[in-house]
Chain A
Amino acid sequence: MPRLSLLLLPLVLILAACNPANQAALNGDGSAANGGLPTQELSSYGAQPAVMPGGLTASASGFDGPVQPGSQRDLQRFASDRILFDTDSTRINQQGYALLTQVAQWMRSNPQVRLLIEGHADERGTREYNFALGDQRATAVTQTLISLGVAPSRLSAVSYGKERPEVAISQPGAWSANRRAVLLVM
């Protein structure tokens, strides 16, 4: 029985993320009203990264405790470490550009920080193409940050293609969360 409810959990969360009315079911700290769920599971379904930043890279301690300047959590709080893309697109959309502007500002405040930019694709493409797509997305983020004044030497990039989805479910909601670039503090 516990195993079954664990399996069903992601479905519930996806539905919650897709329906704004269900947002009320989540507490302010990101835990479910009735479940006492771990924080990072909920925040990983960020269809709107500006509102719900973070994800699987969030530490096990969640969002409690002091935030180290220049850390991954600092980046998540100040801007976001997730940039989402439209289907089959490598274009930085308006929301993504706004976030990257904040990231660039954060990079100016934390001049010691280097970023690894991971490009990811959803599972609805072929493997080789998705590697290239992830590369193009990582490059799009890199070039945008450079155009916003970040030194190229502080940025490196890698594509994961469709090899590392953040959300395991085979549903459109998960696919949009998986079409992403992740900014990792090195």
Chain B
Amino acid sequence: MNRSRSMVSNFNGALRIRSTVSGLLSGIVLVVLCLAVGAAQAQNAGVVASKEIELTISGSGARQVPVAVVDFVGGTSQETDMGMEIARVVRNNLSRAGLLRTIEPHMHPQDARAALANLQYPQWQLAGSDNVITGRIKISQYGRLNVEFFLSDTVRRNQLMALSFSTMVNNWRRVGHVISDQVMKRLTGEDGAFDTRIVYVAESGPKTRRIKQLAIMDQDGGNHRILTSSDLLVTTPRFSPASQEITYVALQGSTWRVFIYNLETGQQEVISDFPGRPTAPRFSPNGDRMVLSIHLNGNTDLYEVDLTTRSRKRLTKSQGIDTAASYGPGGRRLVFESDRGGNQQIYVQSLDTGETRRISRGEGRYAAPVWSPTGEWIAFTKQKDDKFFIGIMRPDGSDERLLTSGFVAESPTWAPNGRLLAYYKQAPTEFGDSMETALYAVDLFTYQERLVLTPSDASDPAWSPRLR
């Protein structure tokens, strides 16, 4: 097998971004603005103590930057429709961003064409919109889409940003996501995670014969598709942080196998042709290695697989269950759960020295830790008093915060910006004989939780790295 580990993303056709700061338009002034970034960072989450457990509750204390997204202007009806759709994608993204607040279209003082031609700053400022996004689109006879977009500051009365994009027409949603990331960065100083995707397990059928398929969608639910057939039972998909590859565990006959699915080629590859029963695989930060659990000779331990040579190295030898490992940002440290001390707790192990330290300290069971891409936090699932919680703690175990709870709440996954966390929650239905299973995401700045809509029940989300 000649597997190249350094991948160049080319999903759905390349998207070229051309900055037109000095070219396309005259009079563009790029001013570095210190908008409400400080205020946004200064806000703290409201923490409320319940009877038994502290739960950091939802609610935004931040000043949200107001922005209006005007429909993009086109010449033909196809262009006009697509211009409205792209604006809608941007509007939905930004309204969910926590730090931003979008102005309802019916509050816009100018229509799209007028706003694009001659933006009346005072009118927009009066309408409460400190920032306005306008744009125009053109579709060539060869099916190529060209989009120009402009971000204007109505308070300082200048243009902050002008960009032009060129891509294939069927890639139009990505244009909306890229614009959203650009606006987010410009107005808040924070990296967005709009130009990303989420894989998850689409669930259907009765609980005792559940059908579980790998599915993928844009982070906002768009471009949804199912990737695996219904006869393959799929669990615990994980994105490579370095490429458009997914690893997951699936049942074939009576054997669980670890697969790698390449989204660009559609190829699937089994990598678990070794003794023992494998679970819980996860890629290293640069995607050249994988950590997983193998049940062998009556014990479940962590192993590391070199994906180039396929050589295997045993990492733990404890009595008990060592599983659900995740790499730290440099790839030289692991966080994992183990019941070696009696019940499930979280441990950090150095891959260089082997030194291992328990970091979870609170009451209850701690499981499935996931290191954030920035290294600042470790997300985890906690079980206490017959409930599941999703929480975060520092890599030394300090500063534990619980973000949400449920009958079941597990499988946290980090967006590449390290401030959005997705997971799934499950609750019994009215009659108690089946479950509602759905994805949620929480923003660590605002602590706002939102439902991520999927066509069917959904579990085990895994966030992609940024698309390139």
Which A residues fall within an 8 A CB radius of B? 7-8, 10-11, 56, 88, 116, 118, 123-129, 131-133, 135-136, 139, 143, 156-159, 161, 163-171
**What's the minimum C-beta distance from B251 to chain A, rounded to whole angstroms?**
8
B381 within 8 A of A: yes
A164 nearest CB neighbor, chain B only? B208
Tell me if A56 and B279 are in contact (CB < 8 A).
no
Contacts of B318-335 to chain A: CB distance below 8 A: 321, 323-324
Report the bound CA distance from A56 to B208 in whole Å. 10
Report the bound CA distance from A33 to B335 in whole Å. 55
Tell me if B408 and A123 are in contact (CB < 8 A).
yes
Contacts of B239-272 to chain A: CB distance below 8 A: 251, 254-256
Question: With a CB–CB cut-off of 8 A, which chain A residues contact B251?
Answer: 163
Tell me if A128 and B431 are in contact (CB < 8 A).
no
A142 nearest CB neighbor, chain B only? B298
Contacts of B171-196 to chain A: CB distance below 8 A: none
> Beyond A132-B300, A168-B434, A170-B432, is A126–B321 a contact (Cβ under 8 Å)?
no
Report the bound CA distance from A145 to B407 in whole Å. 36
Q: Which of A132, A159, A170 has the most chain B CB within a 10 Å cutoff?
A: A132
Report the bound CA distance from A80 to B152 in whole Å. 74
B310 within 8 A of A: no
Question: With a CB–CB cut-off of 8 A, which chain A residues contact B432?
Answer: 11, 169-171
Question: With a CB–CB cut-off of 8 A, which chain A residues contact B256?
Answer: 131, 158-159
Tell me if A139 and B295 are in contact (CB < 8 A).
yes
- Count the A-B residue pairs with Cβ separation under 8 angstroms: how many? 107
Give me 25 A-to-B residue pairs in the complex whose CB atoms sit less than 8 angstroms apart, sorted by A's number. Answer: A7-B431, A10-B433, A11-B432, A116-B254, A124-B383, A126-B367, A126-B388, A128-B323, A128-B367, A128-B368, A129-B367, A131-B235, A132-B300, A133-B321, A135-B279, A135-B295, A139-B298, A158-B255, A159-B256, A163-B235, A163-B251, A164-B208, A165-B208, A170-B407, A171-B432
Tell me if A132 and B293 are in contact (CB < 8 A).
yes
Range of interface residues on chain B?
35 or more
B130 within 8 A of A: no
Tell me if B300 and A136 are in contact (CB < 8 A).
yes
Contacts of B198-252 to chain A: CB distance below 8 A: 206-210, 212, 233, 235-236, 251
B253 nearest CB neighbor, chain A only? A158
Question: With a CB–CB cut-off of 8 A, which chain A residues contact B210?
Answer: 163-164
> Beyond A132-B323, A158-B255, A168-B208, is A127–B411 a contact (Cβ under 8 Å)?
yes
> Beyond A128-B367, A136-B321, is A8–B431 a contact (Cβ under 8 Å)?
yes
Report the bound CA distance from A133 to B324 in whole Å. 13
Report the bound CA distance from A184 to B20 in whole Å. 67
Question: With a CB–CB cut-off of 8 A, which chain A residues contact B207?
Answer: 165, 168
Report the bound CA distance from A157 to B339 in whole Å. 22
Report the bound CA distance from A143 to B255 in whole Å. 19
Tell me if A127 and B460 are in contact (CB < 8 A).
yes
Name 4 extra pairs, CB < 8 A, besides A123-B408, A124-B383, A126-B324.
A7-B431, A116-B254, A126-B367, A135-B277
**What's the minimum C-beta distance from B275 to chain A, rounded to whole angstroms?**
13
Tell me if A159 and B280 are in contact (CB < 8 A).
no
Tell me if B410 and A126 are in contact (CB < 8 A).
yes
B464 within 8 A of A: no
Question: With a CB–CB cut-off of 8 A, which chain B residues contact A169?
Answer: 432-433
Report the bound CA distance from A28 to B383 in whole Å. 42
Question: With a CB–CB cut-off of 8 A, which chain B residues contact A170?
Answer: 407, 428, 432, 435
